[in-house]
């Protein structure tokens, strides 16, 4: 029986060197007694003994890279059985290189659980360690000095010290734990396996932590069990903001009710100011009834559906009144709503690029939308686009019909399913009619493609490039094929 005594404070190298020498000498796991320095004798892993393997002097040992990653984490675990477990895995890997992929294997399963526990403990250290400033001024090297206390479950100080060195490189610090310590002075990172005692420190910054935590605490999203699972109570004693938690939980329901009373139920005031200014300026129509100018003035104060109440302004179409080609989108976006012009936001830039690639001049086209007001859902300071429903599209169709009557385009390009429905009443998959010509009243032709905002929502970069190129081909083909039809 061989006896091996290790410090066992998370150092992978000491176990690796010992294990390599024993394995190369052909010493089976059951013939080794592993001990942790200062600890009791380790108990063997409760498994049947491995079948004896022939020993022929020194032999080479190889392991997959995955074992190094696994062992580097497991060696930090506080259970003394880790030394024997890792050596047993090392021994078995020599005859079964795919062992670590067998999730049902008992040795592998226990090692994975240990690894998970160590990684979770390391994550908690980065989340809940609190530095407190020590001393009354700047140190001799011009750096401030900080001290922190943490109580980990496992020997993770060596493992996490490099993270804190990178994260807090511009200050001198010391991290004390019952399982060792780490310190950084701007030049060298020092590690110790000696256990430390908790210092008695206070820091004026503790009040800042409390203020910050109290302001980010959302009582409406409070889930006590989930919170305690993520931030266990054992860490609270070393976190200044934790003393606020019981009171915040106790008053959560009252705060939620207070928040509900102050919930915004109306659109921002600036919308009303803009709308009022528009109404005042158009109270006395200046254009002759039936003209293009009169149509735009009437649209500016449109209230045919509820969308006008929250939108900044009506976004009417723009372009020559005798344009041969009309492009119809869905509705204005956030930037169009503020500017009062169609297709000037991100989707508009995609549209303009497609026109340019097709050799088309936007100033010679008429561009509009099926719906003239921006429909959105407020989220904080952002306004998130919402698809107009059938009723809203039908209410706004009156304006689109007036535009068609005034402009009299020969080709209409519908970009998206909403535009297709507004122009034809058809509700079908866009892909079924994409790239097709559909006859409209008055001898017009309708060409169907996607809305450019669809391209911006695609998460896959490769698919986005592919669909963008297809959209550009659609735009070019709409005019080229239409002219061929006219000429023939």
Who has greater pLDDT, 278 or 223?
223
Q: Taking residues 379-398, what's their average pLDDT?
A: 90
Which pLDDT belongs to residue 273? Answer: 54
Dist. CA 187–CA 172, nearest whole Å:
10
Question: What are the sequence ranges of the domains in the chain?
Answer: 2-124, 129-192, 205-261, 269-487
């005594």: which residue's tokens? 5
pLDDT (tens digit per residue) in 390-406: 999 999 999 999 999 99
Tens of pLDDT along 35-62? 888 765 444 444 444 444 444 445 677 8
Handedness of CA 316, 304, 409, 332 (dihedral sign): positive
> Which candidate, 87, 106, 96, places its Cα nearest to that of 46?
106
Give me the sign of the Cα torsion angle 390, 396, 402, 403.
negative
Segment 426-442 mean pLDDT: 89
CA–CA gap between residue 306 and residue 387 (Å, rounded): 14
Selected residue with higher pLDDT from 139 and 292: 292
Question: pLDDT value at position 184?
Answer: 94
d(CA 191, CA 189): 7
Return phi, psi of residue 145, to 5°: -120, 140
Q: In this structure, which CATH number among 3.40.190.10, 3.90.1010.10, 3.40.470.10, 3.40.630.30 belongs to the domain 269-487? A: 3.40.470.10
- How many Å apart are CA 107 and CA 100, to the nearest integer? 9
């Amino acid at each position: 029986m061989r006896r091996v005594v290790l410090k066992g404070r998370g150092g992978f190298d000491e176990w690796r060197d010992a294990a390599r020498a024993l394995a190369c000498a052909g010493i089976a796991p059951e013939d080794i007694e592993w001990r942790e320095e200062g600890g009791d004798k380790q108990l063997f892993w409760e498994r049947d003994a491995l079948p004896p393997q022939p020993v022929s002097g020194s032999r080479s040992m190889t392991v997959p890279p995955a074992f190094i990653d696994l062992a580097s984490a497991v060696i930090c675990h506080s259970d003394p059985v880790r030394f024997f477990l890792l050596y047993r895995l090392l021994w078995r890997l020599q005859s079964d290189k795919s062992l670590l992929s067998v999730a049902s294997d008992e040795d592998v399963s226990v090692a994975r659980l240990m690894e998970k526990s160590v990684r979770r403990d390391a994550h908690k250290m980065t989340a809940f360690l609190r530095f407190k400033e020590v001393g009354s001024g700047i140190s001799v090297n011009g750096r401030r000095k900080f001290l922190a206390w943490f109580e980990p479950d496992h020997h993770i100080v060596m493992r996490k010290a490099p993270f804190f060195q990178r994260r807090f490189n511009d200050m001198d610090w010391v991290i004390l734990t019952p399982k060792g310590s780490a310190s950084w002075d701007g030049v060298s990172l020092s590690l110790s396996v000696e256990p430390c005692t908790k210092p008695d420190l206070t820091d004026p910054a503790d009040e800042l932590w409390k203020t910050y935590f109290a302001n980010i605490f959302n009582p409406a999203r409070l889930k006590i069990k989930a919170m305690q699972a993520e931030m266990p109570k054992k860490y609270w004693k070393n976190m200044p903001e934790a003393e606020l938690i019981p009171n915040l939980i106790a008053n959560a329901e009252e705060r939620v009710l207070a928040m509900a009373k102050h919930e915004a139920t109306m659109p921002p005031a600036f919308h009303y100011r803009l709308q009022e200014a528009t109404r005042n300026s158009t109270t006395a129509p200046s254009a002759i009834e039936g003209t293009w100018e009169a149509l735009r003035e009437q649209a500016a104060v449109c209230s045919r559906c509820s969308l006008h109440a929250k939108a900044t302004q009506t976004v009417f179409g723009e372009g020559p009144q005798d344009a041969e080609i009309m492009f119809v989108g869905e509705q204005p976006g956030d930037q169009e709503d503020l500017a009062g012009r169609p297709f000037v936001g991100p989707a508009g830039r995609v549209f303009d690029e497609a026109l340019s690639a097709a050799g088309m001049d936007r100033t010679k086209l008429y561009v509009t939308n099926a719906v003239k007001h921006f429909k959105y859902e407020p989220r904080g300071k952002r306004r998130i686009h919402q698809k107009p429903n059938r009723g809203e599209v039908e209410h706004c169709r009156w304006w689109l019909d007036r535009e068609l009557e005034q402009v009299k385009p020969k080709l209409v390009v519908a970009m998206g399913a909403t535009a297709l429905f507004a122009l034809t009443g058809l509700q079908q998959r866009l892909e079924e009619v994409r790239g097709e010509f559909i006859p409209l009243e008055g001898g017009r032709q309708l060409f169907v493609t996607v809305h450019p905002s669809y391209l911006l929502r695609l998460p896959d970069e490769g698919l986005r490039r592919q669909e963008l190129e297809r959209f550009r081909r659609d735009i070019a083909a709409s005019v080229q094929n239409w002219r061929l039809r006219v000429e023939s």
